[in-house]
Structure formats: C-alpha cells, structure tokens
C-alpha cells in the first residue's frame, strides 16, 4: 500500500532530479515485469514538450535499448496525460515512476517497461527534499547555505551571473531586431529605459521608440531643442505653463512636432509619487537631454572606453541652468546640482553597458568585450537594497556587482520559485 504522504509532498521534478543524477538505490534493479535493468545513460533532460529524457540507453536482460524515458509519480498518469495517443511517446523505452499503480502500453499494445522508485530513495535525501519543499524561511536552504562547500557556491554564482546576462541580452536582441540591427539606436532605447529606473522604465522606453535617435542627433548642438523634443514628446509640455523657459520649450516643440510629424505620449504615464525629487522623471529627462548633447555615437564611445572612470565620466553630465533651481517644470526649488549621482551612473553601467558589451562580444565573436563586461562588474560596488542586505545577514559576502547580480538572480529566479533541484547548492544538500 502506498504512502499518500509521499505523493502529497512530492513533485514530479524531484523524480527528474533523482533520475538525472542517479540519486537512488541501483542495487538489483529490475522492472515491474521482473526484467533485470541496467542504466547505461539516463538521457538528455528535455525541458520542452515530449518525453522527459531523450536518447537514454538501458539494458533489459541481455538486450541494450536506446530511446526516451518518461517520468511520472504514478504510472496511471501515462493514460491521464494522453501519452498512449501521442506518437511523440512511441519511442519511450522506460517508464520511471514512484509507484507502478497500473500497467501501461504503447499504441501497439506492447507493454512499456516500468521502473518503480518507491523504496529506492535514500531516507536522508527524501527528508532533505521535504524540508526544502516546506521551508518558509527567506530562502529554503537558509540554515545550510553557508555550510555548503565554498567552491560549489562560487562556481554556481559564476554560472548564475552569465545566466543573468544571457537573460538581459534577450531584450537587447529584441531591440536590435526592432531597429534593423542598428546598435546605436538599440543602445539608445535600452539606455532610455534604464534612465527611468523601475518606476518609469516603460514610459521612458516608449518615449525613445517614438522619438528616434536620428531626430535628436540633428539637434544635438542645441540643448534647448533637445529638451523641447524630449519634454514635448513626453507630453509634459501640454499642461498650462507659466515660467518663460517652459513656455519657450513648448513653442519650440510645437514647431518640431509639426516638422517631424510627432505624436506625444500621455503625461499621465509618468510617475512622480513617492519618488525622491532627484529621481523625478523631469530631472532624468533633463539629464538625458544633456547626455545626448555632450556625446557623439555614445555606444561606440562606450566600446572604446578603457576604464570604469572613463565610463563614469561619459555619464557625468549636468543639464542647463534652469534645472539648478527646479525638479519639475514651473516649480522652483532650492538651488543644487542636478547631475546624475554616482549610484545612478553605476546602475546604468550594470543594466545597460555591461549587457550590451557582453552581447556585442558574443555576436561579434570578440571575447575581449565579454571579458570586459565581467571585469566591469568586479570593479563596480554592489548595489544597495533590501535583498542584498538579507544575503549579508546570512553571512554571504557581497563585495561587488559581480556577486550582487548573481545573488539577485539566485534569489529571484531560483529561491523564490523553490527551484532547489536545479540549484547547485540544493544539489549538494541532496547527495
């Protein structure tokens, strides 16, 4: 009689893990039909549709078989999932289950060899798995993370960092496709998005899409016209205005809007609430205009920059005098510098320059750009946020952006989703 507790507290992915890494008792293996079984190769894990493992090799009795392996908690799930009517499963040579509760066969009527794992899972592995599954701490392995071998953690963080960069470059690939492989235009769009941080990322990117870099380039020597284009296209010049400078911007934009047949965004898209004044979208737009004014072929300049200091210098721009005394149009404030802060510049480098350099190096088969991207992360200080504070409270060092980016990815993509079975740390605990 089966133990219902095991089924209630087990996911099929656990059986995938056991099969993939052979973490079960192999002694005297035999199928449910009584044939001796030897696993020569578990196969290639398939994360898409179709059987769970491709190209496995097993020996049944004296015969070697090559084909696919399907895994379920109960063998009856073969029928529940309709595999008996799916030709994609005709080449399954072994059905691996926790409990063999019903014989199943191919469409031809030939019974499928079945391996039952119930009773073959080491008690310690099963206990650790159930503890991880039901843990409600900040991360499932909170009590054990720093006890895992350092080499395991360091190698895993290296892999996570590359995985995070690959994930970020997927958005760059989309932008390149949308701009017909125009690197400067795609860089301009991603840079604009990151100027908005999380709160105003979408309207900033929409602004960049609606106002091509080629138009801004025609006016790069005129800071007033750049601000008129950006603020006007953002929809922020449609409101009633009183001060002379905003009124002048509005007049200039009306002319440029007609000239380039532009349609402004809705001003309501921009979020000011609960933001520090230095992060107001109006301040970021003014800084963005100053950056366009002071740079030529920005992406090319970034590729040529040899040091972190040179990159920081490229972004250390200050908007016009009006913004010394304003955080918003028509709303005077105390006089202070409105240059981008160093932390903000570092975020731009982490989220824009690093992934762009990494992807450029990958597409151009130029390792030096990929190595430079990774080196930049080692030179940049770690970000400051609650997630990284929590890692440090666990005793995990977060000294630079290389580590912080990997740890952010680990927490948000693995720990929060309880993907312990796909994590090197989780794997080390389940040995």
pLDDT for 296 equals 75
Q: Mark out the alpha helices in 234-385 (DSSP H runs).
A: 244-260, 281-294, 298-304, 308-315, 342-348, 354-363, 367-379
Give 343-388 pLDDT, tens digit per residue: 999 999 999 999 999 999 999 999 999 999 999 999 999 999 999 9
Asked if pLDDT for residue 96 goes beyond 60, the answer is yes
Say if residue 8's pLDDT is above 60: no
At 44-55, the pLDDT tens digits run 999 899 999 999
Predicted pLDDT at 2? 44
pTM comes to 0.86
| pLDDT exceeds cutoff 60 at 246 | yes
Q: How confident is the model at residue 4 (pLDDT cuts 50, 70, 90)?
A: very low
Residue 70, judged by CB atoms within 10 A of its CB (0-12, 13-18, 19+), counts as buried
Question: CA nearest 301: which of 310, 288, 290?
Answer: 310
The model's confidence at residue 9, banded by pLDDT at 50, 70 and 90, is low
pLDDT 10s digits, 11-32: 899 999 999 999 999 999 999 9
Query: Which helix (H) or strand (E) is 192 found in, with range?
Result: helix 183-195
- List, for residues 271-296, the tens digit of each pLDDT value: 999 999 999 999 999 999 999 998 87
The average pLDDT across 315-337 equals 90
Contact 401, 383 (CB under 8 A): yes
Give counts: helices (H), strands (E), the chain: 19, 8
Structure tokens at 13: 């992915």
pLDDT band at 302 (very low <50, low <70, confident <90, very high): confident
pLDDT for res 128: 93
Q: How many CA atoms lie within 13 A of 126 on its CB side?
A: 15
Model confidence pLDDT, tens digit, residues 133-173: 888 999 999 999 998 999 999 999 999 999 999 999 999 99
Confidence of residue 188 (pLDDT cuts 50, 70, 90): very high
Read off the pLDDT band of 338 (50, 70, 90): confident
Between 300 and 159, the more confident residue is: 159
State the average pLDDT for the chain.
93
Min mean pLDDT across 160-164, 211-215, 336-340 is at 336-340
Residue 354: half-sphere exposure toward Cβ, Cα within 13 Å: 27
- Between the CA of residue 35 and those of 31, 38, 62, 112, what are the distances in Å? 5, 10, 10, 12
The rounded percent of the chain whose pLDDT value lies above 70 is: 98
């Amino acid at each position: 009689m089966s133990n219902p507790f095991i089924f209630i507290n087990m996911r099929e992915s656990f059986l995938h893990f056991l099969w993939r890494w052979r973490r079960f008792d192999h002694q005297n293996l035999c199928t449910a039909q009584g044939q001796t079984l030897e696993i020569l190769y578990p196969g290639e894990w398939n994360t898409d549709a179709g059987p769970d493992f491709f190209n496995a090799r097993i020996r049944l009795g004296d015969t070697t078989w090559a084909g696919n392996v399907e895994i379920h908690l109960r063998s009856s799930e073969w029928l529940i999932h309709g595999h008996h009517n799916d030709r994609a499963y005709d080449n399954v040579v072994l059905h691996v289950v926790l409990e063999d509760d019903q014989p199943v066969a191919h469409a031809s009527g030939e019974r499928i060899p079945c391996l039952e794992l119930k009773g073959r899972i080491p008690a310690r592995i099963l206990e650790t798995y159930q503890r991880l599954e039901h843990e409600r701490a900040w991360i499932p392995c909170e009590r054990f993370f720093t006890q895992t071998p350092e080499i395991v953690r360091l190698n895993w963080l290296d892999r996570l960092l590359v995985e995070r960069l690959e994930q970020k470059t997927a958005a760059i690939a989309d932008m390149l496709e949308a701009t017909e492989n125009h690197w400067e235009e795609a860089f301009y769009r991603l840079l604009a998005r990151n100027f908005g941080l999380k709160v105003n990322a979408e309207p900033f990117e929409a602004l960049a899409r609606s106002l091509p870099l080629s138009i801004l380039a025609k006016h790069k020597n005129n800071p007033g016209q750049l601000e008129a284009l950006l603020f006007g296209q953002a929809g922020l010049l449609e409101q009633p205005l009183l001060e002379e400078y905003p009124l002048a911007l509005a007049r200039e934009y009306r002319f440029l809007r007609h000239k380039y047949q532009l349609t402004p965004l809705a001003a309501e898209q921009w979020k000011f609430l609960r933001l520090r004044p230095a992060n107001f979208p109006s301040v970021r737009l003014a800084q963005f205009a100053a950056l366009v004014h002071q740079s030529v072929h920005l992406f090319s300049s970034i590729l040529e920059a040899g040091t972190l200091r040179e990159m920081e210098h490229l972004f250390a721009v200050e908007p016009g005098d009006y913004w010394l005394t304003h955080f918003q149009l028509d709303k005077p404030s105390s006089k202070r510098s409105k240059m981008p802060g160093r932390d903000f510049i570092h975020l731009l480098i982490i989220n824009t320059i690093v992934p762009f350099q990494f992807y450029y190096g990958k597409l151009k088969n130029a390792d030096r750009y990929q190595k430079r991207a990774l080196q930049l992360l080692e030179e940049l200080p770690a970000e400051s946020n609650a997630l990284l504070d929590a890692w440090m409270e666990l005793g995990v060092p977060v000294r630079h952006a290389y580590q912080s980016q990997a740890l952010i990815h680990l927490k948000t993509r693995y720990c929060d989703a309880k993907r312990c079975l796909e994590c090197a740390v989780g794997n080390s605990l389940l040995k």
